[in-house]
Structure 1
Amino acid sequence: MTTRALTAVTLALLALPVFASEDIADQYPGSVLYSKPVEFIPHVFSAIGATAPPTYENAGHNNNLSFIVTGDGVVVINSGGSYQLAEALHHEIKATTDQPVKLVFNENGQGHAMLGNTYWAEQGVKIIAQTDAAEAFEDEGPGSLRAAQARLKERADGTELTPPTETFDDEYTVDMGDFHIEALHLGPSHSPGDIVIWLPEQSLVIAGDMAFHERMLPIFTDTLTDEWLETWDGPFEALGATYVIPGHGHPTNMAQVRRYTKGYLEYLRGKIRDHLDAGGSLADAYYVDQSPYAHLDTFEELATKNAGRVFEQMEFE
């Protein structure tokens, strides 16, 4: 495909209406996947998850499950939030190519990235994660599994705790088929061990939870927003990516994720700084104005929590 044709296809995808809303029903009733994988650029596919919280109805598929058909095997990004999601993704891969899955990357240590590991381990596939993500899954995996079982009921059948088979600290590089693939831990961001998958020859970053745009980003107790911004302004921007597949929501570009990730973090920190300077309390911090972001999915679930956690961080900065 020529560069002009690739650009035309990509711009057409970016112009599509947003279908990952909390108010949209499951888009792929014949599968536990929320949506059928779509080819974003040649040979790079993603099954876009719901931007709602995980539910029985969406089978816990509320993040993006991506894969790269390299010409000499398939590389999967995220094992999925259950055994059945991993199996369903593999079914779609086998319908797309006869190349075997050779490698799975876990983008972080959360359940939606790792709870499908058991399925891939049964297929004999190597599973890679960053060291901190593997440690987080060891600590928090049992709780993630219990929550998934309670939420998904029979849709969690077969799901067990299986750690990654290999870990790395900063960088894991793969040359497979027609692709040079770099798994990078760029620094602190959304959760321990977050990585991005960088395809330099395609100028595409599979950003995971480094970047959000259609749903509000969650700030956890261990999310250090000042360090996330440092990682963003430094090594993440330095990639110079043209195309972005975020952890949640449709593929897009850097301008969009910059607006709704970096922009939101800076906005909320500014509001909390003003609140602190005025002598405001934690109780009132929950209600600082976040209306410019009220259109994002999960705003109602996350906005007040995010404000409280940023207040607790910033009062000691």
Structure 2
Amino acid sequence: MSIPDSTATFPEYAPLPESALGPELNADGYYAGRVQDNLFWVTDGTYQSAFLATPDGVVLFDAPPTIGNNLRRAVDELTAAENLPNTVTHLVYSHHHADHAGASYLFGDVVRIGHAETRRLLQRDNDRARPAPEVTFEDSYTLEVGGSRVELAYHGPNHSPDNVYIHFPDHDTMMLIDVVNVGWVPIYNLNLSEDVPGYLDAPDRALEYSWTHYVGGHLGRLGTRDDVTLHQRYIADIVDSSHAALGSVDPTPYFARYGANAWAGVAGYLDAVTDAAAAPVIEKYTGVLGAADVPALTTTTTFSILQSIRLDLGGGSQVHP
């Protein structure tokens, strides 16, 4: 084990806005509460899960390993309060990533449901902690358990190739994971998203549904439609700023300076464009969204969007005369 460096310095950041903070965690390190009626949610302050408590058993939506066995505790606590059975009968995967599904194995032999691509990817990954779903769908799937209804839909790749929309029409709730971090900026590289155009389109898709409550999969509180709209403004400002930077930063000095070292010239130019695009967004959203002033977060998100503008949309391309 390495010994911490007592001389290390750590940067200071702006105070978090109140809108970034969720409810206080209990002594076991989680918070569990009601979303609406028999739909509940669980958070450890960083990750989120949800479940339906029905007379025919519990339907769990995602099983993040950081929450882990606290999911079992939350289910036991809230089903006991509702005088309902605590047996988990179904587990729905939002997508295949281990940080949202890695505690699936804790629930044993349940009916697992996910997109067909989720099954393919989990079979590829061969992770015992994430058994592949037995029940799959391509476009949509309606799950009804104990009088509760859930609508699952796939609208194409976004954060991942298999990320689905989980709509609770009878509970006024949308669950869409790893797209909007309620009250916060995305983590590195646009929440580590694989399909940038799909990611940028996903909030619009979510807002086409009827809902009031939003489960985003991360951090400490539930969201609202206003939270999704704020996220859209943040992303739109990055897009606009990226277009402006692509049109204003001259690549010539970087390639002239590094000559035959082409990658050094490319890196210098793209870093300069990214920094120019990110700077006004960081300034605008510091104090509005949590961690907006942590430079690497908005900067790497800007880089991902900027590269999509260049590579997916053809923006900023320079054609040799």
| TM-score interval, smaller chain | 0.7 to 0.9
What residue is the counterpart of 1:162 in the other structure?
Answer: 131
Label 1:313 to 1:241 Cα distance change in 2 as closer, same or farther (>3 A): same
2:62 corresponds, among 61, 65, 78, to 78
**Identity level (%):** 16
1:294 corresponds, among 286, 294, 314, to 286
Larger radius of gyration: 2
Gaps of 5+ in 2: 1-17, 251-268, 314-321
What residue is the counterpart of 1:4 in the other structure?
Answer: none
Contact 2:159–2:192 at 8 Å: present in 1 too? no
What residue is the counterpart of 1:212 in the other structure?
Answer: 181
Q: 1:221 Cα deviation (Å)?
A: 6.2
2:160 corresponds, among 191, 201, 209, to 191
Label 1:312 to 1:245 Cα distance change in 2 as closer, same or farther (>3 A): same
Q: 1:39 Cα deviation (Å)?
A: 1.0
Contact 2:169–2:210 at 8 Å: present in 1 too? no
Structure 2 counterparts to residues 257-296 of structure 1, below 5 A: 257-260=228-231, 262-279=232-249, 281-287=269-275, 288-289=278-279, 290-291=281-282, 292-295=284-287, 296=289
Structure 2 counterparts to residues 16-95 of structure 1, below 5 A: 18-20=20-22, 27-29=25-27, 31=28, 34-50=29-45, 62-81=46-65, 85-95=67-77
Contact 2:30–2:70 at 8 Å: present in 1 too? no
Aligned length: 262
Q: Distance in 1 between matches of 2:244 and 2:123?
A: 39
The one-letter amino acid paired with 2:215 is: I
Q: What is the aligned-residue RMSD (CA, Å)?
A: 2.7
Label 1:174 to 1:306 Cα distance change in 2 as closer, same or farther (>3 A): same
Q: Secondary structure at the match of 1:163?
A: coil
Contact 1:187–1:231 at 8 Å: present in 2 too? no
Q: Distance in 2 between matches of 1:172 and 1:114?
A: 19
The one-letter amino acid paired with 2:286 is: A
Label 1:112 to 1:183 Cα distance change in 2 as closer, same or farther (>3 A): same
1:125 corresponds, among 110, 120, 129, to 110
2:308 corresponds, among 303, 308, 313, to 313
Contact 1:74–1:103 at 8 Å: present in 2 too? yes
Label 1:131 to 1:73 Cα distance change in 2 as closer, same or farther (>3 A): same
Label 1:167 to 1:256 Cα distance change in 2 as closer, same or farther (>3 A): same
The one-letter amino acid paired with 1:19 is: L
The one-letter amino acid paired with 1:252 is: G
Label 1:210 to 1:127 Cα distance change in 2 as closer, same or farther (>3 A): same
TM-score of the superposed pair, with normalisation by structure 2: 0.72
Higher relative contact order, structure no. (Cα contacts within 8 Å, ≥ 6 residues apart): 2
Contact 2:178–2:191 at 8 Å: present in 1 too? no
Gaps of 5+ in 1: 1-15, 51-61, 143-158
Q: 1:307 Cα deviation (Å)?
A: 1.5
Q: Distance in 1 between matches of 2:44 and 2:74?
A: 15
